[in-house]
Chain A
């Protein structure tokens, strides 16, 4: 069964460093999402992406964040200058079309900022 994959599974970085989290959505999906979950807290929407552009973003998704689909398979989340409060699980999700609504999630990347 097709699945969303994410790499790395765990990333440790120092405050102020740039990180890139990678996702490979399901191959025929068109809509892509990033969410984050700070330990013990709710899952929070960050951004959605369709047709090579951002379609929605939350207040969390400020200028420090960017997303890119550099080729036909990868979908990346970049944090330019990490802060301690960026430590969280980051989940990528995809769906075939918006009206299907059901999103398929990757296993997540645990980001630890020290």
Chain B
């Protein structure tokens, strides 16, 4: 089954710096999504990128997708303390609609 794997597992940066997280997956996809999870809370959808797209922006978020390498990156620019959370990538395959999740990156923004 396809599987998203994020790296790094944990990332700690100073407020104002950019944070980059990466995700790799194994099989062909229809789209890839990034979600945020604050500690002990629910999952919040951030952005979706389709397999025929290479880059997408939403506010301070920039997502890239390289289907030849089966990888994606999430860049958060000008990080804020409120961005502290775990970030997950999740993929949707060509023949089903379930989300297959990566292990997540724990992002800590130091004030």
- Contact present for B98 and A56 (CB under 8 Å): yes
Complex interface: chain B residues within 8 A of A65 (CB): none
| Distance, CA A99 to CA B48, complexed state (A) | 12
Give the size category of A's interface with B.
Answer: 20 to 34
- Contact present for A44 and B92 (CB under 8 Å): no
Decide yes or no whether A91 CB sits under 8 A from chain B.
Answer: yes
Binds B, one of A69-77, A78-86, A100-108: A100-108
Interface of B is mostly: strand
Complex interface: chain A residues within 8 A of B31 (CB): 101
Decide yes or no whether A98 CB sits under 8 A from chain B.
Answer: yes
- Contact present for B98 and A45 (CB under 8 Å): yes
- Contact present for B45 and A104 (CB under 8 Å): yes
- Contact present for B97 and A35 (CB under 8 Å): no
- Contact present for B43 and A48 (CB under 8 Å): no
Chain B's nearest CB lies how many Å from the CB of A105?
4
5 examples of A-B residue contacts, CB within 8 angstroms: A48-B97, A93-B43, A101-B48, A104-B45, A108-B41
Q: What residues of chain A have their CB less than 8 Å away from a CB belonging to chain B?
A: 31, 33, 35, 41-45, 48, 55-56, 58, 91, 93, 98, 101-108
A-B pairs with lowest CB-CB distance, top 5? A43-B101, A107-B42, A105-B43, A45-B98, A105-B42
